[in-house]
Amino acid sequence: MNTTIPCPQCTLENTYQDGNNYICADCGYEWPIQASTEADENSDRVVKDANGNVLASGDTVALIKDLKVKGSSITLKVGTKIKGIRLVDGDHEVDCKTDAGNIMLKACYLKKV
């Protein structure tokens, strides 16, 4: 099973192994194999809300500002409580269900309740 390691600089997965290093074919960045295996072992991401509290899957959060839902005319109002969040990878760290449907939000717009 050959897994592709994404480049830590440009995050693209067009990488290959050359001796004791990985090389990104897109940006030319090189990094040692040992460093990437240590990063994989320590990849437990910590997601923090706007106040610096650590969020976990299943938490209840509230919005700290009005958010317009992209692609619709719906606006999520400040103070809206969202129960049972789920943490995911990506730039939008929180996946949740609201009255407007399933939405992914950034943690910087949430506070833990």
Split at pLDDT 50, 70, 90, the class of 43 is low
For the whole prediction, is pTM greater than 0.75? no
CA–CA distance from 22 to each of 40, 42, 72 (Å)?
A: 14, 19, 43
pLDDT at 2: 56
Question: What amino acid occupies position 107?
Answer: A
CA–CA distance from 86 to each of 4, 77, 79 (Å)?
A: 26, 20, 19
Burial class from Cβ neighbours inside 10 Å (0-12, 13-18, 19+) for residue 7 reads: buried
56 by DSSP, 3-state: which? coil
Percent of the chain with pLDDT over 90: 46
Please say if the pLDDT value at position 55 is more than 50: yes
What are the structural domains of the chain?
1-43 (2.20.25.10), 61-112 (2.30.30.40)
